[in-house]
Amino acid sequence: MENTNTLRHCHIMSREALLTAQSSCDSVNKLASVVCEPNSKYLEDCNLCLCSPDGTTTACSTLRCS
């Protein structure tokens, strides 16, 4: 299977979703509303992630990393 670098099957993680997913951590209450550098691109494992213009959400490809 060919590994392509596309944004198919992206997931969006908002600050609210992040807080819900990590609500058991005390440090989560200290999170700012910005979760990434606005308009930035970064790798998470082998997946490309894009940050929204306001820095509050991310979209990442979901490639299987080997």
The tokens 């490639």 sit on which residue? 63
Q: What pTM value is reported for the model?
A: 0.49
Is residue 51 a part of any domain in this protein? yes
Q: Is residue 15 part of a domain?
A: no
Count up the domains in the chain and report the number.
1
Confidence at residue 56, expressed as pLDDT on a 0 to 100 scale: 87
CA angle 64, 9, 41 (to 5 degrees): 80
Per residue in 16-60, pLDDT (tens digit) is 665 555 554 444 444 457 789 999 999 989 999 999 998 889 999
Flag whether 31 is in a domain: yes
Domain assignment present for residue 34? The answer is: yes
The answer to the question of residue 19 being in a domain is no
The reply to whether 13 falls in a domain is no
Residue 55 belongs to a domain? yes
What is the C-alpha separation between 7 and 26, in angstroms, rounded? 32
Nearest CA to 57 out of 65, 45, 49 is that of 49
Expressed as residue numbers, the domain containing 56 is 24-60
Q: Assign 8 a pLDDT band (cuts: 50, 70, 90).
A: very low
